[in-house]
Structure 1
């Protein structure tokens, strides 16, 4: 190899000396021409090898069934590999061209060596990117934080590469370099604090399966409410439902609280948990005539008949004085309304009857008595879920008057005006 390079680059100086040029002028002219020849040959070698490697990889990608080689082509791996051949040629040629310039030979040799290390790391990065894209096409890996794993590996490789570059540049042994880095580890930790936190957090997020790509999460601190589209070493990207994007630091996923809706989406239903406020002074016992009128409500007609017979038997057996309604056992409009809503929910086709389904009374408040519907919809899609919940409460609101109940609401301007008059 060296003899071949000497034939290419050692002809200038003897020719200039033969022409009678001074030593210094002949030497610099020879160096200038040799550098031009080196650049030209390196560029031609790059063009040839780039064409050959790119075409060869494209042909292989078309003939094979796997998509991995197609992704290598799309990530331009062959073009970066093609840079290596001319660089190796330059690396071997520099000692021959700068044979009489020891200092510059050392400088250029180190620079070319550093560039080769960086280029090798860049080639490895394109291969990992192709591997990442390949795994993301697989259903088993589509929700895994592949970016975080690749970034961790690349950080380790870059640390090794930087160590090699520093060792090459300053002619320091790696052992000595690592000893020096250990002494300044506190400063390094301070500088790379966010990277280290992100690295640790991404491992914990992955191992604990806290969040996956495609999960719907709600993170109030950062205003995030949408689907996770990317998980990497430093950040988690969320596409919100208003089509904005929120970027969350990865370490915030373990240091702060957020809500992951994956469990709900994987379950058999999506929960409805909403209440209305009933005025306390509208709740009362029902007399026989009112109960007769309510028997026309088909969902609770049989219930009223059965409860009336049970209550009447109890009151007679215990000789209850029914001259005032408070004595003994009685039916209330609020209790019947709860029963009616429960029956309505049981007959509603879009609710999952295998999960909890209740209409319950909550702790009284200063605004009234909360009546809560607690049930699960079969359809978990957002728009359908909202429609089902609204449809149920439309019926709840419309049914209130039939039970002589009132919903609490703050007085409007018209009501206040009428009261004053």
Structure 2
């Protein structure tokens, strides 16, 4: 390119005047046109980077610090979230990229091919800077919504990821258009032909997206819910619901990650209903040794009437039994005739009375003590009731206190809790027999 051509072209724009002025001063040294063009571009490039560095320093050191002080003094939270998500950094990056886009291309007027490639590169950088700023704003909106009552349990991360995927698609289309110089519509047409491949590649993402929408619409799982999926080793609180996976922290503090679509394809247990009800179920049995179950004599009944919680029940029950036996003329010389009280029946009535008077047992929920089918381990008496709270520690403490008391009280009813014999029991049972055998052997030796 000759000097006269450069002057004619550069006179059309202010930036070209700067290039022309620099070119003339370097040319005065007596260098060739090519060397002059190279030195002109290098000098202007150094000057441009110096200006950008100064502007960047001013933006980061002065304006940003000023904004940070203002944000920390305000009571609103949205600006704090914007700062946490580096919104100011993304804005400064966008400003610097736009300035570079305006300053750098005129520097390479003497190199049209290089200027064209650099222009495309800077256009792509501007697109990425815009994306980072939009992404920071979206994260700020997410954090604001996450702290509102209406969205506190919604899978906001899934929605954010869907928008991010849409933004990636737009960015990819624009970058393709910049690099090829073709219209974005041509890219969309070719993309439609490859839709089957994209469906296969993004299968998990699509399934996760559908699952996130259905989970949110059906309100089946929320962040903070306690869920249980034994198949995947899940038993804990939901930490996060994303587009592709769900993070659950088990009670042993391990974190399990499962695909989001498994919430639709597999069954799981959600304890939210229990937590919202305010009561947690106790469902545990005491196995009674069947051979210890028997009728009670009048003297034994009189002794059990000393138990305050049981006395009203015994009085009422005695009246019903006497009325029934008198009406049916039952022969009371044999206890099996007519109706009688049993030690296990009174023990069951005592458990009900004890539970009804217990301050930590929910009185407005199901409360009963029932017999299950007898087994080789005795007769199970099952306690079915609910505690007043749902916290794990409270539930376990309450249940333990109740069974501590019942195991100690069962002896007053002349009942035995079934338990398999231990080694000490076998040794005690065999000890007399072994002693007799030992004596017999000694006597035989004497003879």
Q: Common fold, TM-score beyond 0.5?
A: yes
- Please provide the CA RMSD for this pair: 2.4
SS in 2 for 1:11: helix
1:85 aligns with 2:106: no
1:194 aligns with 2:210: no
- Retained in 2: the 8 A contact 1:99–1:105? yes
* Alignment correspondent of 1:162: 172
Name the CA shift for 1:65/1:293 in 2 (closer, same or farther; >3 Å). closer
1:134 aligns with 2:107: no
Structure 1 range deviating more: 73-82 or 235-244: 235-244
Name the CA shift for 1:76/1:228 in 2 (closer, same or farther; >3 Å). same
2:316 to 306, 310, 318: 306
Name the CA shift for 1:184/1:404 in 2 (closer, same or farther; >3 Å). same
- What whole-Å deviation, never above 9, does each CA across 1:312-343 have from its counterpart, x for those lacking one? 33223222233433222222221111111111
SS in 1 for 2:173: helix
* Alignment correspondent of 1:356: 366
Equivalent-residue separation in structure 2 for 1:336 and 1:353 (angstroms): 21
* Alignment correspondent of 2:439: none
Equivalent-residue separation in structure 1 for 2:316 and 2:99 (angstroms): 99
* Alignment correspondent of 1:214: 224
- Please list, as runs of the form range in 1=range in 2, the aligned pairs for 1:33-182 lying within 5 A after superposition: 33-51=43-61, 53-55=63-65, 57-58=67-68, 60-61=70-71, 64-182=74-192
Structure 1 range deviating more: 143-152 or 107-116: 143-152
2:351 to 341, 347, 355: 341
Equivalent-residue separation in structure 2 for 1:157 and 1:298 (angstroms): 73
1:283 aligns with 2:293: yes
- Retained in 2: the 8 A contact 1:42–1:87? no
Offset of residue 392 of structure 1: 0.5
Instruction: Return the TM-score normalized by structure 1.
Output: 0.91
Equivalent-residue separation in structure 2 for 1:176 and 1:364 (angstroms): 77
Q: Which runs of 5+ in 1 are unaligned?
A: none
Equivalent-residue separation in structure 1 for 2:96 and 2:327 (angstroms): 107
* Alignment correspondent of 1:257: 267
- Retained in 2: the 8 A contact 1:286–1:330? yes
- What whole-Å deviation, never above 9, does each CA across 1:357-384 have from its counterpart, x for those lacking one? 1111123333222211111111322222
SS in 2 for 1:298: coil
SS in 1 for 2:168: helix
1:26 to 17, 22, 36: 36
1:380 aligns with 2:390: yes
Equivalent-residue separation in structure 2 for 1:334 and 1:179 (angstroms): 81
Larger radius of gyration: 2
1:294 to 304, 320, 323: 304
Equivalent-residue separation in structure 1 for 2:98 and 2:357 (angstroms): 78
Q: Which runs of 5+ in 2 are unaligned?
A: 1-9, 434-447
- What whole-Å deviation, never above 9, does each CA across 1:155-181 have from its counterpart, x for those lacking one? 211211111112212223222212222
- Retained in 2: the 8 A contact 1:77–1:127? yes
Offset of residue 185 of structure 1: 1.8
Instruction: Return the TM-score normalized by structure 2.
Output: 0.86
Equivalent-residue separation in structure 1 for 2:342 and 2:192 (angstroms): 78
Offset of residue 198 of structure 1: 1.9
SS in 2 for 1:239: strand
